[in-house]
Amino acid sequence: MFMLLGGLFVFVGLTLYIFFRTAILTALLYGEIFLLSIWIGAVLRSMAMGRFKGLTWSIYLLYVVVFMISYLFAIMLAFNPIHSPENFQHAEQIINQKGWSGLKNYFLFEDLLWGAMHLMGLCILTYTFWLMAMSLLHIATAGNSLSYGRPDSWIVKKTARYCTPWTNIIFISLLVLLGAAMASGVFLYWIQYEIPFYIKELINIVLYGSR
């Protein structure tokens, strides 16, 4: 059942993604720009009113800037992967003109594994975007509640769990790195080529004592 559901997810996910690849990646890119524009106004206002102060919040708000830059690079890597099948950049055009049946003339069955990894990386990046968006929504709404002297709204209470500075810095950073590595093809390349090579070298050193 797990394999069946996994296969269905890969098939449906890749179908939708390849058909609308440019639109999906562009939406993620514009979504980040929109999030950044909201963050600049809301956070500066909240800090000016004393809602967020101290070393922890200063570091976290600085980290948001680093996240935005890192996320931009991650999306760019999804647009132009470092390691990818030869005709990947033309996959959207091929599937829109000839459907899935046309892809078999340009891709190997082994490329399906790369596509699944790439899709999983995009899912991780999308989830990361959601976490950061909820975190910044909490900052914006909490600052707004303070400015009008109102008790915390339900939005503030619901999004509070997404705004834990030190946990977010560690967890979101790891997710961005993992998502970027999978979307760019680096993750699969290391698993298939680099890691087996180093393991073989290590075994040779242990068994024969030569490098």
Q: Quick one: pLDDT at residue 149?
A: 52
CA distance 51 to 88: 48
* Mean pLDDT (the chain, rounded): 81
pLDDT over threshold 80, residue 48: no
**What is the largest distance, in Å, between two alpha-carbon atoms of the chain?**
73
In 3D space, the residue among 30, 11, 13 whose CA is nearest the CA of residue 21 turns out to be 13
**Each residue's pLDDT tens digit, 142-183:** 655 554 555 566 677 777 777 777 888 899 999 999 999 999
Average pLDDT over residues 129-134: 86
pLDDT (tens digit per residue) in 53-65: 666 667 777 788 8
What phi and psi, each to the nearest 5 degrees, are found at residue 105? Answer: -80, -10
Judging by beta carbons within 10 Å of its beta carbon (0-12, 13-18, 19+), is residue 202 exposed, middle or buried? exposed
Domain ranges in the chain? 2-208
Predicted pLDDT of residue 166: 80
Backbone torsions φ then ψ of 193, nearest 5 degrees: -120, -50
> Is the entire prediction scored with pTM above 0.85?
no
Q: How large is the average pLDDT for residues 56-77?
A: 83
Asked if 172 and 67 count as a contact pair (C-beta separation under 8 A), the reply is yes
Which of 174, 179, 177, 172 has its CA nearest to residue 60?
172
Convert the pLDDT of each residue in 99-126 to its tens digit.
888 888 888 888 888 998 999 999 999 9
Q: Exposed, middle or buried by CB within 10 Å (0-12, 13-18, 19+), for 190?
A: middle
In terms of residues, how long is the chain? 211
Other Cβ atoms within 10 Å of 120 Cβ, number = 18
